[in-house]
């Protein structure tokens, strides 16, 4: 995970195998309905401007998203998007469990050191400490290796079984529950620099983006710092953790040579329901 100057992101280039990514791309092209350009138009100084790409949003229909002066509705969930939402949530949950394990490891390590200090108050036995530290690191590495296993055809079968239309986990407190979809027809479509810091969204929750189709660069920008460029591959996952969006802008710049479609799905935790209460 990149974690410098509050740019706290993780990029997994081959989250999906090419075969699975191809299949998701096809399904998305077939099933996603995009908003009419007038609905997604942004308002700047009382004037409407159509945006240079197509967008859509899926989740619980009671959720809305305030987007550059426009309040966008939410479409009822569809199967392919629900499958991807579940995978994004699985990933976040696994990471959370992982960090609980890390905390437990740290605790074990501290307990061990405390014990050592008590037992060997007179003799400092560095070698023994070293070998135990190695065991703990090895254990962490094993878990990380498992976590980084890419999502492949076997997993795809499972997710089909689990998927259930219109069943967004409304009752789960700690879940991604909303997706914003961007469709870039070619390199002339783009997304200007912005922060995902709208008040409808939970700023304490990670944002997970899956990319399908042609590779496009995402650029992270912050005043006085070097830009960070990540080419977002077909089947990749990018996670933005807090506090990235407090400090860094990101955008998908034009690439005139790119002739093909890219679709991104950005899963977030939308609190617009709560904000209305």
Ligand X SMILES: O=C(O)CCC(=O)C(=O)O
Residues lying near ligand X in the complex (CB under 6 A) are found at: 180, 182, 191, 196, 209, 218, 232, 250, 252, 264, 266
Q: Is 4 annotated as a binding residue?
A: no
Residues 193, 96, 167: CA angle, nearest 5 degrees: 75
| Shortest distance, position 19 Cβ to ligand X, whole Å | 22
Instruction: Reply yes or no: is the peptide bond before residue 243 cis, omega within 30 of 0.
Output: yes
| Shortest distance, position 115 Cβ to ligand X, whole Å | 48
Q: Is 216 annotated as a binding residue?
A: no
Q: Is 250 annotated as a binding residue?
A: yes
| Shortest distance, position 147 Cβ to ligand X, whole Å | 22
Q: Is 8 annotated as a binding residue?
A: no
Residue 98 main-chain phi, psi, to 5 deg: -60, -45
Q: Is 266 annotated as a binding residue?
A: yes
| Shortest distance, position 172 Cβ to ligand X, whole Å | 23
Smaller CB separation from ligand X, 1 or 113: 1
| Shortest distance, position 277 Cβ to ligand X, whole Å | 25
Smaller CB separation from ligand X, 53 or 163: 53
Q: Is 197 annotated as a binding residue?
A: yes
Smaller CB separation from ligand X, 82 or 250: 250
Smaller CB separation from ligand X, 107 or 195: 195
Token couple for 37: 């350009």
| Shortest distance, position 181 Cβ to ligand X, whole Å | 8
Smaller CB separation from ligand X, 163 or 248: 248
> Dihedral through CA 237, CA 241, CA 247, CA 248, nearest 10?
0
Sign (positive or negative) of CA dihedral 9, 12, 13, 19: negative
The residue length of the chain stands at: 277
| Shortest distance, position 218 Cβ to ligand X, whole Å | 5
Smaller CB separation from ligand X, 97 or 204: 204
Query: Shortest Cβ contact with ligand X: which residue?
Result: 264
Smaller CB separation from ligand X, 42 or 136: 42
Q: Is 46 annotated as a binding residue?
A: no
Q: Is 173 annotated as a binding residue?
A: no
Which amino acids are annotated as binding site, given as ranges?
A: 182, 184, 194, 197, 250, 262, 266, 268
Q: Which residues are annotated binding-site positions for substrate? A: 197
Give the residue ranges of the annotated binding site for 2-oxoglutarate. Answer: 182, 184, 194, 250, 262, 266, 268
């Amino acid at each position: 995970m990149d974690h410098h100057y509050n740019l706290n992101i993780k990029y997994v280039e081959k989250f999906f195998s090419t075969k699975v990514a191809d299949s998701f791309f096809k399904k998305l092209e077939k099933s996603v309905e995009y908003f009419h350009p007038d609905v997604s138009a942004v308002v700047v100084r009382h004037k409407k401007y159509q945006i240079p790409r197509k967008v859509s949003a899926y989740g619980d229909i009671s959720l809305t998203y305030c987007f550059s002066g426009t309040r966008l509705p939410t479409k009822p969930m569809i199967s392919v998007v629900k499958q991807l939402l579940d995978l994004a949530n699985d990933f976040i949950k696994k990471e959370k469990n992982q960090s609980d394990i890390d905390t437990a490891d740290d605790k074990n390590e501290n307990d061990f050191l405390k014990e050592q200090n008590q037992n060997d108050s007179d003799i400092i036995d560095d070698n023994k400490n070293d070998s135990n530290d190695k065991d703990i690191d090895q254990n962490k590495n094993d878990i990380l290796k498992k976590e980084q296993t890419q999502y492949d055809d076997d997993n795809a079968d499972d997710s089909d079984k689990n998927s259930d239309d219109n069943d967004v986990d409304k009752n789960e407190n700690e879940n991604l529950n909303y997706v914003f979809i961007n469709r870039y027809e070619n390199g002339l479509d783009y997304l200007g620099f912005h922060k995902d810091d709208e008040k409808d969204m939970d700023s304490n929750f990670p944002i997970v983006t899956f990319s399908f189709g042609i590779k496009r660069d995402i650029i992270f920008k912050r005043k006085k710092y070097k830009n960070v460029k990540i080419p977002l591959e077909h089947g990749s996952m990018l996670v933005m953790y807090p506090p990235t969006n407090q400090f860094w802008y990101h955008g998908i710049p034009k690439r005139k040579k790119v002739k093909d479609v890219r679709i991104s799905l950005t899963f977030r935790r939308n609190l617009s329901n709560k904000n209305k209460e």
